[in-house]
Amino acid sequence: MELLVIIIFVIGYLGITLEHNIKLDKLIPALAMMAICWAIVALGIDSFSNWFDSANHALIDGFSLLPHQDKMHLAEETLLHHLGKTAEILVFLLGAMTIVEIIDYFKGFSTIKGYVKTNSKKKILWIFSILAFILSAIIDNLTATIVLISILQKIVKKRDERIWFAGLIIIAANAGGAFSPIGDVTTTMLWIGNKVSTGKLFLYLFIPSLLCMLVPSFIASFLKPFQGTIDTQDDLDDDSEKKGKHSATMLYLGLGAIVFVPIFKTVTHLPPYVGMMLSLAIVATFAEIFSRRKFSLTDFNAMEESTEHSYHSPVHSSLSKIEMPSILFFLGILMAVAALESLGILFGFADTLKESIPLLGTELQGTKVSDTVVMLLGVGSAVIDNVPLVAASLGMFTESLDNPLWHFIAFSAGTGGSMLIIGSAAGVVAMGMEKIDFFWYLKKISWLALLGFLVGSFSFMIMRSFI
């Protein structure tokens, strides 16, 4: 039965990775394999010899000898445990996505366009690389990529020139998301799973992530596509696209509210989604206040209110734009991986990897961990989705909070996806926005991303011994 669960997972995984070939949204195979895997677990509970206790990170002794009812009760408790942990991540993401949409509702991100006052290609490259690195650490790499490419389209009019900038934005955004607990979904998973803390994550990964951005950007600045100037466009100084009255206020308020979440967690020791809900409540309150031109008792008399003066809630509007397919995909993939973990499959696979790939192994806090395995995870995240890879690593390894292994996994999974355009959410969205060809990116950008990944990885290995 364990083999059947693995087969279903592999088939679902293939469906996810071949999303563009089979023209089927990846949330469909993710949800299907989650439901089927857990159905097999429930129907064949008596045929399984192992059960992994997620709370204690150990296999349960004598599981096969337990009565059927006890096994089913244990399976239900485990399912509820994993659903709770997954819900923490999903509610956190929903809050963050809503805040970003509220900022966009007030055209807050148009404020950033005002910082670009040059037509030098090299300067524009550095401006956007640095902005991508910083913004992705605050609002996540996917959103940062969408925002910056949208701004880039108003500044660089020629698509052939623009896709080069987009390629470097992908690298910088993924690098910036790696050292922040709210910068990348996989890093958020490790943070919420109590594998990394905010302070140590910054301490271990800021310099490797910075180098991962700086090295490709520095090399690219000498390449022909980034020489000279762009054609002067009226849009550089055009204010025809008027910013909202409260655009700058909502931008700074929204970004500040998201940055507040790790502080809230540190002070209260509550799960991050609680702080995110508080931040959302504060931002939503100001959004509702700013969106009303005047307050009147007649606003509440819906029967007499004319349609042209009807009130539209910015919060409701923002919630309607949330990427629910992404949320459902995360639900499916995380719960499917939880099924493999519960059967002890990932636990056994981790032991096999540690024994069979000793290359570059190093003694860290008494545990032999292979840097090769983690770097392969980074390369693998460029080929297949990094969310299930990190979810699998959570079930494979039992190292304690802030063990360097978890920080290396955060870096590898976060930045390794830049090596292929389909390897990260930032790359996929850029591919869609600019119609970037897979093989063009492979030939022109991938080698820069690989250099950044390798420099960042080796700098982490060096720094690790001094921290």
Domain spans of the chain?
1-294+312-467
Q: What does pTM read for this prediction?
A: 0.71
Question: Taking 90 as the threshold, does the pLDDT of residue 193 lie above it?
Answer: no
pLDDT for 3: 87
- Going from the C-alpha of 23 to that of each of 185, 299, 328, the distances in angstroms are 24, 47, 18
pLDDT for 236: 46
Each residue's pLDDT tens digit, 213-266? 999 999 999 999 999 888 755 444 444 444 466 888 888 898 888 888 888 888
What count of Cα atoms within 13 Å lies in the side-chain half-sphere of residue 91? Answer: 16
Q: What is the DSSP letter of 369?
A: E
Strand partners, 147: none
Burial class (CB in 10 A: 0-12, 13-18, 19+), 466: exposed
Question: Taking 60 as the threshold, does the pLDDT of residue 373 lie above it?
Answer: yes
User: Per-residue confidence at 351, pLDDT binned at 50, 70, 90?
Assistant: low
